[in-house]
Structure 1
Amino acid sequence: MLDIRRLQVLLAIVEEGSVTGAATALGYTPSAISQQLLRLEREAGQPLLDRHARGMTPTDAGVVLATHARKILRQLAAAEADLAEVAGVRRGSVTLGTFPTVGSSFLPLAVRRYRELYPNISLTISSGREDNLVRMLEDGTVAMSLLWDYEWQRIDNDELVLTELFTDPTVLLVGANHRLARRRTVKMGDLAAEPWIIRAGGHPVVEVLDRSAVAAGFTPTIAFQANDYQEAQAMVSVGLGIALAPRTATVNQHPDVRVVSLGDTAPSRRVLVAHRQGRVRGAAELALHDVLVETASSYA
């Protein structure tokens, strides 16, 4: 029985005119191409190529086999394309939930990669608060959602299947003229006398500050309550105070703000992707899940 991979090698040699050209086209070494050709000629029981100084030309048997190989390989490619369409990878739609800090940092990288791989899939993304994202997962409004949690308040929902994507560290924001602006790393214990800018409305980063400050032995003095991280950065930039933020919130960094590592003296959060337990997942959704995981491995 003729081996389809060796037929592919023969066709590449015929089309490229040499072993070297075939090796380049197929991504093999010239030695591997030559070995596959010799095996194919043994299977065929006769020479398939005439070797000469300027390259190779097919024998009559080689022309016959190369013609059939071209048809077979086209049919295989068509079969794979049909299977992909049946599986929904080339067509279809998928819905995803996200939250602002990841939606403005990590997620665009994943979306760009997904569109490169699956340009015909319709991708719809909704951004919101985590409680709303969980509701959308539960009622099927979104197929998957990006979520986050801290070690003291892990997501505990038997209806959700969670995959950790990466760890998002808490960092310190200081003004460009602050005494710590040139430091690469500081400890929370060094910040006891500083005024703080926090997020308003019981935002989770407030609890991060409270827990970190208690662990470092001080009570933070609050100078301003910001409605979002851009507002917080603006106040940090003019020296009203310093602030904590997840690293993903610093992608759009204010020009007069510096980001300083806190090492392990402030807790990090997990960024996760979740889907509903028992959900029948289509190929488009599974492909997006894989892209999110792959993008996260390089992003982290």
Structure 2
Amino acid sequence: MELDVRRLFLLAEIAEYGSLTGAAEAMMYTTSAVSQQMRRLEAEAGQTLFERRARGVVLTDAGAALVARAHAIRRELAGAESDLEALSGLHAGTVRIGSFPTASASILPLVLTQFSRQHPAIAVSVRSALRDPLRELLLMRDVELALFWEYDWSLFEDDAIETERLLDDPTVLVVAAGSEVGGTGPVKLSSMAGERWIIRADGHPVADVLTRSCHAAGFAPDIAYDAHDYQEAQAMVAAGLGVALAPRLSLTNLRDDVRLVPLDPQTPVPVRRILMGQLKGHQPTPAILGFQDTLREAARAMPKTFSQQGQLGSVNQ
């Protein structure tokens, strides 16, 4: 049995559009031509690949298996094209970056500005997503490089992706500007047991940070408000509704009516690690190598940037 790859791709199009007619229109073929190609593919496979229904087609198990293989072949072909581009040593083109929201609002703008100054001929595109969708973007080669995060209890692990630790993002306490908390320096989290807390909603990882940290400090947090983003959380803190914990990178756009307080080094509060990830075994293009260097430079500069802002004395690397 020898399967025609082009027919596999056509079967994948039929699966996507749900009918031979839909696939034919998308591919600018006639329906009869598509039907003929599918008969040949079924002859090659020796099995029925789909069943015709009144409103389209439904894949058989054999058809679904071949569609999955077709997607894998497409990914490998895209990888081959990318490898050839890297070997050509191009100094122009595009860079496709993936990022998560707080990195996109903090470190990434610095990198994009610096990189565009150094390499104005290279077009950069950015896709922002949560961690699992971002992982899929990288695996599908929709992006070439991605920023991820991890905590000790939520490690980023994928056999197909290699990562480099860029930056440690400490957890800090957010209080109202007029609060007496932290007036004499870093505070122990255990001293905050009587406070009410602003927490991130919808199972956000920072909600887990608060719960774990407070329990480690010997108390359960009294939740006053579930915020859907960090600006909302800051607003509730400023209004005196409670205090909050947040990763430092999420607070680059700090309100004037809140203040950041470092936590005592002995406080068992976790640090979020920021990672740079790419596919294992993938040869990066010269443009990607340059972008990685700019990312590393920005990561090294972040503690100084925070200090100049006067919002925290230091950030642990």
Report the TM-score when normalising by structure 1: 0.69
The answer for the alignment partner of 1:148 in structure 2 is 149
CA distance in structure 1 between the partners assigned to 2:194 and 2:249 by the alignment: 26
In structure 1, the partner of 2:58 is: none
Residue identity (%): 42
Instruction: Tell me, yes or no, if the aligned pair for 1:181 and 1:258 is still in contact at 8 Å.
Output: no
Give the match for residue 125 of structure 2: 124
Compute the RMSD of aligned alpha carbons.
1.6
Could you report, residue by residue, the CA deviation over 1:158-194 in whole angstroms, capped at 9, with x for unpaired residues? Answer: 1111011110000000011222153431111111000
Q: CA deviation at 1:288?
A: 0.8
Query: Which residue does 1:218 correspond to in 2?
Result: 219
SS at match of 1:198: strand
Q: Quick check: 110-119 or 195-204, which moved more?
A: 110-119
Match of 1:177, SS state, is: coil
In the alignment, what sits opposite 1:47? none
Tell me the distance in 1 between the aligned counterparts of 2:220 and 2:128. Answer: 34
Partner residue, 1:292? 295
2:140 corresponds to 1:139 = yes
Task: Please give the alpha-carbon distance, in whole angstroms, between the structure 2 residues aligned to 1:182 and 1:88.
Answer: 54
Which structure has the greater CA radius of gyration? 1
CA offset digits 1:42-67 (Å, max 9, x no partner): xxxxxxxxxxxxxxxxxxxxxxxxxx
Map 1:138-287 onto structure 2 (within 5 A): 138-180=139-181, 182-264=183-265, 265=267, 266-287=269-290
2:246 and 2:173 map into 1 onto residues whose CA distance is 7
CA contact 1:94–1:124 (8 Å) conserved in 2: yes
1:104 CA displacement: 1.1
**CA–CA separation in structure 1 for the residues paired with 2:88 and 2:283:** 16
1:103 is the counterpart of 2:84:
no
Q: Measure the CA separation in 2 of the matches of 1:136 and 1:222.
A: 35
Shift of 1:244: 0.6
| 1:102-123 Cα deviation digits (max 9, x unpaired) | 1111111111111111110010
Aligned to 1:87: 89
Structure-2 separation of matches of 1:193 and 1:283: 54
Runs of at least 5 residues in structure 2 that lack an aligned partner in the other structure:
1-86, 304-317
Does the Cα contact within 8 Å between 1:174 and 1:180 map onto a contact in 2? yes
* TM-score normalised over the length of structure 2: 0.66
Change beyond 3 A, Cα 1:126–1:226: same
Equivalents in 2 of 1:298, 1:176: separation in Å? 26
Which stretches of structure 1, 4 residues or more, deviate above 4 A after TM superposition? none
Q: Distance in 2 between matches of 1:88 and 1:182?
A: 54
Offset at residue 243 of structure 1 (A) = 0.4
Q: Distance in 1 between matches of 2:220 and 2:249?
A: 26
The 3-state SS of whatever aligns with 2:132 is helix
Quote the offset at 1:143 in angstroms.
0.3
Matched residue count: 216
